[in-house]
Structure 1
Amino acid sequence: MTFTVRSPASSANLGPGFDSLGLSVPLYTTLRVTPQDRTEVVPLGADLAGTPADESNYVYRAMALAARRAGRPLPPARVEIETDVPLARGLGSSAAALVAGIVAGNELLGRPLDDEAVLDVAAREEGHPDNVAPALFGGIVVATLDRLGTHYVRLDPPAHLGVTVLIPEFELSTSKARAVLPREYSRADTVHALSHAALLAAALAQGRLELLRHAMQDYVHQIWRAPLVPGLSDILEEAHLHGALGAALSGAGPTVLCFHDTRGPTAPLHRYLHGVMARSGLSGRVIDLPIDTVGTVVERAGNPA
């Protein structure tokens, strides 16, 4: 019987929560999986044109990771893949594909892996849990990865917290964005990162929206990546003057995330972000999104599985 797996996009780091903090947003990678006597991989849509249509596809390799953790062979199936998560834009497109694939492989095997095992497989493959955890569980997730396992706390979004994302029309690979980071940090920058990440997690947990602008300051990755994203420094400094509760580079970029209060207008923030793009000679989209609170969903015959 055919089943569908849908995994959301995610925004990681949120400023100081480098490789450990993220949230999910309602843009999705969707798989339709039909067991059959041979394997077929079918990428659909213009965004996936040119991606492998065989077992080397990243989604299918993710399915195989679930089988490897379960110690069982992966049954053959037709796997159709669609996505509306922008690729290489800092919105967790690879994490959505990875999580969807692992969940689909686990489902095809009869669910031998529990959620914690699925998360651990995904985090170890990705190398960090900040995108895969919210893609799997939805909401806001603080997570760590160590030799003993992947550990997380999921938070429901505070009331009235919305997201505005600026998605420029150019790609930025994670490898390029990581290459500019220093190998070592000073004690002062380390203390700054730890204290602000802790304040951000506490502010999100308690709904202290007024603290977000202060808590989202970061010296670990954003200042180093700013030259790769025209206008980023201006947005980090000025977005609060135009209605943002706080601003951050989304993942490795180039997307920029701003928090807003859903009780107020976002038109001034949109105008400001479009203006930054225009001054930088860029084009792109500015959209308001809620925070996805569901995470990855499996459906069979129209009903959640």
Structure 2
Amino acid sequence: MMGKWQIKVPGSTANLGPGFDSIGLGLSLYLTLEITLQDEWEFVHIGDNVPSDTTVETHLVYSIAQQVAKQHNKPLRPCKVEMASELPLARGLGSSAAAIVAAIELADILGELDLSTQDKLNISSQIEGHPDNATASVLGGLTISSMDEQGIVDTLHIQEIDAAFVVFIPNVELKTADSRGVLPDQFDRGYAVRASANANMLAASLIAKDYVRIGRYMEADLFHEPFRAQLIPNYAEIHEAAKSAGAYGTALSGAGPTLISMIPLHVSEQFVLSMQKRFPAHKIVLTTASPSGSTVTAYGW
């Protein structure tokens, strides 16, 4: 067995408006793990976007990797894991899904599990509870997915997205559980039909690459954004300013509090400068759809 690997997993945005728990987009912002075999487990965190108060036993990557290995009745060889992330925690950019996918890749390496891509989609989505962020981190690009009662994931994957994305990251955390807590338990039939129609149109527009329509339906969600908007700093102001600056559309990134705008490639630099001036309390990040999903590179002995 080789002795050193790099695992690189893209972060993601989920929903893009009405694609609730089913549409994901891998972003060119990454969680990176450098893996070296050694006699004991060790985690080294580099930078600000990784937890500082965790032990080996309580580490999400360790616990998920061990869980996956146990399901396959395989032991894991101990290793040193050096972990760095471009994904701020609890901001709606798929940091937990990326960590879960990285853990599955780690288990696959150290336990020699020989997992297929479909296995990785199923396991990560089952752990997350829904397939939006997880499938985007496994595959990259755009994913439109469903998961059945047995936890089997079906995904349509679109690699090329001819647009840029700008994320507005506020200096506040919002746990997914808190953001889900404001959602209604049920909708009446007419409301649900309208919400479903908007989601269908978003998915169809994404497949057709009709960016004007994508933007329209990104902003037509009825499933979650009307209820979460109150939790999001500058929600209405960012929507309005982004539209005025040329964005196709703006939506919550996952459960928030980050917002994401899809913009034409040619306006990206000007757009970012304008938004930085308008919203100095937010971190404004320009990115693109990730060209690939999770990758594992082996090197050295």
Normalised by the length of structure 1, the TM-score is 0.91
Contact 1:4 / 1:32 at 8 angstroms: preserved in 2? yes
Distance in structure 2 (CA, Å) of the matches to 1:273 and 1:256: 14
Q: Which runs of 5+ in 2 are unaligned?
A: none
Find out whether 1:142 has 2:144 as its counterpart.
yes
Q: Is the 8 A contact 2:43 2:81 kept in 1?
A: yes
Matches within 5 A, 1:119-268: 119-148=121-150, 149-159=152-162, 161-216=163-218, 217-236=220-239, 239-268=242-271
Matched, 1:27 2:29: yes
Alpha-carbon deviation of 1:213?
Answer: 2.3
CA-to-partner distance for each residue in 1:39-94, whole Å, 9 max, x for gaps?
A: 22223333335231312200111211321332212222222222121111110111
Structure 2 Cα separation of the partners of residues 198 and 274 of structure 1 = 36
Residues 189, 269 of structure 1: alpha-carbon distance in 2 compared, 3 angstrom cutoff: farther
TM-aligned CA deviation for residue 21 of structure 1:
0.4
Runs of 4+ residues over 4 Å off in structure 1: none
The more displaced of 55-64 and 41-50 is 41-50
Distance 2:175 2:211 in 1: 31
Query: What code does the residue aligned with 2:288 have?
Result: P
Aligned-residue offset at 1:237: 5.0
Shift in alpha-carbon separation, 1:119–1:213, aligned structure 2, 3 A:
same
Task: Write the letter of the residue equivalent to 1:239.
Answer: A
Is the 2:272–2:286 Cα contact (8 Å) retained in structure 1?
A: no
Which residue of structure 1 lines up, in the alignment, with residue 288 of structure 2?
A: 290
| Distance in structure 2 (CA, Å) of the matches to 1:265 and 1:41 | 37
CA contact 1:243–1:266 (8 Å) conserved in 2: no
Please report how far the alpha carbon of residue 132 of structure 1 lies from its aligned counterpart in structure 2 after TM superposition.
Answer: 0.7
Uncovered stretches (5+) of structure 1, i.e. residues with no partner: none
Instruction: Tell me which of 109, 116, 141 is aligned to 1:107.
Output: 109
TM-score if structure 2 supplies the norm length?
A: 0.92
Residue 238 of structure 1 and its aligned partner are, at CA, apart by: 5.5
How far does residue 287 in structure 1 lie from its aligned partner after superposition? 2.0
Tell me the matched-pair count: 296
RMSD: 1.8
> Which position in structure 1 is the counterpart of 2:43?
41
Instruction: After superposition, give the CA deviation of every residue in 1:103-148 in whole Å (9 maximum; x if it has no partner).
Output: 1111112242211111111111111111011111000001111223
Q: Is the 8 A contact 1:213 1:240 kept in 2?
A: no
In structure 2, relative to structure 1, the CA distance for the partners of 1:266 and 1:240 (3 Å cut) is farther
Q: Aligned partner of 1:289: which letter?
A: T
Question: Match of 1:7, SS?
Answer: strand
Per the TM alignment, residue 199 of structure 1 is displaced from its structure 2 partner at its CA by 1.2
Shift of 1:233: 2.7
Matched ranges for 1:45-124 at <5 A: 45-124=47-126
* In structure 1, C-alpha distance between the alignment counterparts of 2:176 and 2:228, rounded to whole Å: 11
